[in-house]
Structure 1
Amino acid sequence: MIKWMVVGLVFACGAFADVDGASRSPNILLIISDDQGYGDFGFTGNKVVQTPTLDRLSRESAFYLHFVVGPACTPTRASLFAGRHHLDMGVWGVGSRGRVRRDETLMPKFFSPSGYAAWAFGKMDGGLHMMEMTPIDRGFDSFLPGAGYAQRNKQGWGAELITDAAVEKIRQAGDKPWLAYVGYVIPHLDWYCPESYAEPFRKKGYSEDIAQCYGSIKQMDDQIARLLKAVKETGQAENTIVLFMSDNGSLDAMGQQEMGVWENAKPKNPHSPDWGIRNPGNLIGRKGEVWDNGIRSPLEHITIVMP
């Protein structure tokens, strides 16, 4: 399904300039969260998490209820960037199993011949280097990793650092079309967020895990709001395609430690006390499994950012 999303984007960008008198190809803002399960959104039925920006996008967008991704981050991102099945690219897992072949053509090189600037912010994969090569080697014009796989470094919170950089690029873009990939490392373990985001969940009696995990998701939602505001304030709203997705399902954890609950395990370990909160639809599976809760991701696609 990811393959056809990429193919559709390429065709849409080629045709968009002829629609409604648009003078050039549209900008593309692609936002990806990390390990955010299908149930970790208000618009999918979760009454605890706070995702007002993404909830609004779901109402204003083409919302794909049954969009399917890979069961882990690297397979999903490899397929997304190349428009090909990850196994055909040499990717069958993460780490040493997630190295895309060097001769693969990835997303920015599909768009650069049409005059696009291509920017990458945040998590790619393989740490600071993307699949044995840097993002610049793969065709991006600029790359900012943020805090890497940590939520915070000496410069500040990773979600805010990459958003700052993306907003700056959007404001400086001028008339040249752009492709901006923004990859948040939220809510991947370790769950860790500013106290101002965690404390409201604590006050409602939720566990420290929920306070940190869902606090970080609210932090990310606020950063996405900043991205959309920048697009609108620079007058680019009606010529920008915005997409949001998660890379795979949620991971059951307690005290920052993975619970290791697998559907086919005998005997099966119990879920954490918070699993019902994170999986309100009671979907089967988790990250790493090809059950619904491991591979089902909400995809939001909007071609005009509404006020």
Structure 2
Amino acid sequence: MYRHVYYLLFVVGLIGFGHRTQGAESVAAATVLDRPNILIVLTDDQGWGDLSLNGNKNLETPHIDALAATGAQFDRFFVCPVCSPTRAEFLTGRYHPRGGVFSTSAGGERLDLDEVTIADTFKAAGYVTGAFGKWHNGMQYPYHPNGRGFEEYYGFTSGHWGHYFDPVLEHNGALVRGS
């Protein structure tokens, strides 16, 4: 069975740390005000009913509930039984086999290089992009998050359970120690 008993929060933060604009400061300020900051939260092995905002009375998720209350919620995304294909679908908006992802190992987790990612699209629109957490769509460049449109990356690029406890993390390709 591919399901795990853990819940790993993967935060793909396509965050507008600032917007790249050219010209006078007033033009830059107007552009920043016209565009929202965007934060997307994608979690592993979490069911719809695992959040208090969806009616679960057995646990409280106040911070996630607050984000949802002040932002947009998308509740029609369907996932695969394992993580890499789900991530590939999220990154491209396409059915995972079309992007070459069919597994979580042996190269089946790597997204085809000709696929346009959500990070590529946001970057082209002037956003600064970042991904934080578990990646599991290719470890080395050009499959690495920094090679797929994300300017900032902090997390781990592999996936299997041995990395969830005491992980070795990286920041933009340089290894750092997690805690």
**Quick check: TM above 0.5?**
yes
**Aligned ranges 1:153-172 → 2 under 5 Å:** 153=167
Residues 26, 139 of structure 1: CA spacing in aligned structure 2 closer, same or farther, 3 A cutoff? same
Distance apart, 1:124 and its partner CA: 1.0
Residues 144, 27 of structure 1: CA spacing in aligned structure 2 closer, same or farther, 3 A cutoff? same
Stretches of 4+ aligned residues off by more than 6 angstroms: none
Select which of 89, 113, 116 maps to 2:124.
113
| TM-score under structure 2 length normalisation | 0.61
Residue 144 of structure 1 corresponds to 154
**CA distance in structure 1 between the partners assigned to 2:110 and 2:63 by the alignment:** 34
**CA distance in structure 1 between the partners assigned to 2:157 and 2:146 by the alignment:** 18
Is the 2:142–2:148 contact (alpha carbons within 8 Å) kept by the matching residues of 1? no
Identity value in percent:
35
Residue 14 of structure 1 corresponds to none
Name stretches of at least 5 consecutive residues in structure 2 with no aligned partner: 1-28, 172-179
Is the 1:147–1:153 contact (alpha carbons within 8 Å) kept by the matching residues of 2? no
Residue 18 of structure 1 corresponds to none
Select which of 88, 93, 99 maps to 2:110.
99
Name stretches of at least 5 consecutive residues in structure 1 with no aligned partner: 1-20, 163-307
- The superposition leaves residues 96-136 of structure 1 with CA deviations (integer Å, 9 ceiling, x where unpaired) of 33221122222222122232211121111157x17972111
Specify the SS of the correspondent of 1:54. Answer: helix
Select which of 53, 56, 59 maps to 1:49.
59
**Aligned ranges 1:1-307 → 2 under 5 Å:** 22-24=30-32, 25-96=35-106, 97-126=108-137, 129=139, 133-145=143-155, 149-153=163-167
Residues 117, 55 of structure 1: CA spacing in aligned structure 2 closer, same or farther, 3 A cutoff? closer
Is the 1:118–1:141 contact (alpha carbons within 8 Å) kept by the matching residues of 2? yes
Specify the SS of the correspondent of 1:144. Answer: strand
| TM-score under structure 1 length normalisation | 0.38
**CA distance in structure 2 between the partners assigned to 1:62 and 1:135 by the alignment:** 25
Greater share of helix residues, 1 or 2? Answer: 1
Q: CA RMSD in A?
A: 3.1
**CA distance in structure 2 between the partners assigned to 1:137 and 1:150 by the alignment:** 24
Is the 1:99–1:132 contact (alpha carbons within 8 Å) kept by the matching residues of 2? no
Specify the SS of the correspondent of 2:124. Answer: helix
Residues 124, 131 of structure 1: CA spacing in aligned structure 2 closer, same or farther, 3 A cutoff? farther
